[in-house]
Each structure stands twice: as C-alpha cells, then as structure tokens.
Amino acid sequence: MGRKLRSLVGALKDTASLSKAAATAAALSPSSAAQLAVLRATTHHPADEPPHPRHIQALLSFGHGSRLSAASAAGVLASRLRSTGDPAVAFKCLLALHHLLARGAFILRDQLPPALLRHPASGRNPLVLAAFRHGSSSAASWALASWVRWYARLLELLLSASVLLVSFPTAHRPFAKPDDDDRERVTSLLDQDLISELDALVGIVEEMAGVPEMVAVEGSRLVAEAVRLVEADRVAAEHEIEIRVTEMEGRLGSLRFADSVELVCLLRRLENCRYRPWDRKPTVGDWFWAGVRDLMDRAEKVVLRKEEEERRVKREKASASARASDRIPVGSNQAVRFGSTRWADR
C-alpha cells in the first residue's frame, strides 16, 4: 500500500510540475523549455522505465541552438539531480546525462562540466551522491540507491576525462573510436601528460569494475539501459588505453625513473580489471591484455635497471665524498706541499 501511495504522490508531483513548466514555456524562455524537457525525461512514473528516446532527443536538441539554450538544459538537469530524493528519478537524471555526454553536440557537452562538476548556485557537485539514501524500506529501492551512487561516481569520472581529453578533434562521445588524428595527438604528448591521461582512463575502468551487486536489481530496465551505455564506454576506453600502451612501448627507454614506476602501478591496476563484472568474460581480445602484460613486464625490468643505476650513482657519489674528506684541508696560513720541490725553493 505504501508503495502505491508513493507512486501516486510521484505521479501527482509530475503532473503539477509539468503543468507549471508547460505554462511558463509559452513565453519561449530557454530555461522554461529546458525545465519542461528535463521533467518529461525524468518522471517519477513509471519508475522502472528509462527515459523515452523522444524525450532524450528533445534534450539533445538543445545542443543545436544557442549556447544559452545548452547551458539552460545542463543547469536544469543538474538542479533536478541535486534536488531529488527518489532513486528512480535520480537514476533517470544520470541516464539522461550519460546520453548527453555520449551523443550531445559539442556546444551541449561543453556546458556539462561547469553545470555538473560544481553547481553554480550552491557550489556543490551534483554528482557527489555518496550520501544518497532512500527513505523507503523496500529492498529494491535500497539496491537502486546503491546503483545511483555508483553511477554518479562513474559519470563524474567520465565527465572529468572528457575535460582532460577535450582536444580530441573528432570526438562525439566521451571516447570516440580512435582514428589517425587521435594517434598522432598522443604521440605529441609529453611523458607526464601521457601518463596522466592513462591514469584517468584506468580510473574509469576501475570504477566500472566496482559495479554494485546485480541480483537485487535483476530485470530492472533502468539498470539494463545503464549497463548497455557503460559497456559501450568501457570498450571505447580500452581502445583509448591501447593507443597509449602502444605509445609507451616506444618510450620505455627514455622514461624517468619516477614515470616508469607510475606506469607499472597503472598497468597493475588495469590488469585487475580484465573481466567484466556482470558476466566475468574478457571485454576485449587477448591481444589487448597480452600487450598490457608485455608492457608491464618490460616496464618492471626498466624500473629495476634504473633503480640499480641510481644505487650505483649514489654509491659512487658517496665514495667520491669519502675520498674528498680524507684530503688535508689547506688554510691560508698553511704551506702547500707539492709533489715536486721544483717550485718550492723559488
């Protein structure tokens, strides 16, 4: 009975909000139009239905207008996510965000980081939902709330990575299919910048591997849609990693010791994410993981060699310092003893 009452209350909220937004949208205000589009895509009822494709398309259309329209859509979506306490509505907001990040035009994707990484009104990050809880005692609601927290963390990483990798010339999603321009760009990166990008990509794959338990949400259409989008991004991210792994193979000999150690740590973290958590099967071919393993083995050897070189240099410096300390210091009032007396008598 309580669940039916909550559904009814949610439906009434949707009706009231939609009516108000429709009335104000008559003035053709970008903010009002964005509010109406977001409300339609993130309704309380039906709770387990992902946003309808036409509602997602309506949100995507804000990327084909002015920058003000795009900023309004991003801002309203951030406010909706920040203010809701319903896990289904929050999950729909995250799904809508994922679609915008993956398929939105550049002008729309460009407005997502300022609206979502730090909300301009509150200074808070709407994607930081670590404390997100649902008041219902329903096991399904609690399970969905845990998925909301995980999904928000993942999208925050995806959004941050899209900022870091913003110079990709032809990207129409967080990780577009690599092309020759992407590979050429990677070759021009400094070692530390290349490792930073690899770190961001590995962090995303790690978060994907930390997916919550799926048993409690088995059959959920919301979760199924999220898994489909996440799977596509994981495959794309692994292709981006492959480009950087290949580039690193040619730089091993010239890497600094600290960069070599960081690279080994990143590759070890990556290898721990070899299997997809939802079916425990390799996500890409064995060629990818063979390349990761080969680079890690070679990098470990480079680290050992450079560590030994540093120890040898330190020993040589210590030995030279010890020899220098054995010499007799020469003061201003001390006679200098030459190896020959040729100049001493003059």
- Residue 235: which CATH number? 1.20.58
Residue 159, domain member (yes or no): no
Q: Which of 8-12, 25-29, 281-285 has the lowest mean pLDDT?
A: 8-12
Give me the CATH number covering residue 123.
1.25.40.90
pTM of the model: 0.78
Residue 146 to residue 246: CA distance in whole angstroms: 37
> Does a structural domain hold residue 318?
no
Q: Are residues 139 and 185 in the same domain?
A: no
Do 186 and 116 lie in a common domain? no
> What average pLDDT is seen over the chain?
80
Question: What are the angstrom distances between the C-alpha of 170 and each of 21, 44, 129?
Answer: 36, 36, 32
Residues 220 and 125 in one domain: no
Task: Give yes or no: residues 176 and 258 share one domain.
Answer: yes
Q: Which residue has the higher pLDDT, 168 or 233?
A: 233
28 shares its domain with 75: yes
Same domain as 279, residue 214: yes
Q: Is residue 195 part of a domain?
A: yes
pLDDT in tens, 298-345: 999 999 988 888 888 888 888 787 777 665 555 555 544 444 444 445
Q: Is the pLDDT of residue 159 over 60?
A: yes
Count CB-CB contacts under 10 A for residue 318: 10
Task: Locate all alpha helices (DSSP H) within the chain, ordered by sequence.
Answer: 2-25, 30-41, 53-60, 67-83, 87-103, 106-109, 112-116, 139-164, 180-187, 191-209, 221-249, 257-271, 286-325
Are residues 230 and 139 part of one domain?
Answer: no
Q: Which residues contact 113 (CB under 8 A, 6 or more apart)?
A: 159, 160, 162, 163
In which band, very low, low, confident or very high, does the pLDDT at 164 lie, cut at 50, 70 and 90?
A: confident
Of 314 and 77, the structure prediction assigns the larger pLDDT to 77
Residue 207 banded pLDDT, cuts 50, 70, 90: very high
d(CA 11, CA 157): 33
Nearest to 161 by CA among 94, 233, 96: 233
Residue 342, domain member (yes or no): no
108 lies in the same domain as 79: yes
Rounded distance between C-alpha atoms, residue 247 and residue 136, angstroms: 51
281: containing domain: 165-313
pLDDT in tens, 23-50: 454 445 778 899 999 999 999 888 889 9
Domain count, the chain: 2
Residue 194 and residue 145 share a domain: no
In a domain, 330, yes or no: no
Q: What is the Rg, in whole angstroms, of the alpha carbon atoms belonging to the chain?
A: 29
**Which tens digit of pLDDT belongs to each residue from 214-258?**
877 888 899 999 999 998 888 888 888 999 999 999 999 889 989
Helix (H, G, I), strand (E, B) or coil at 110: coil
| Preceding peptide of 46 cis, ω within 30° | yes
pLDDT at residue 343, as a whole number: 46
The DSSP code for 282 is B
**Beta-ladder partners of 282:** 275
The pLDDT value given to residue 337:
47
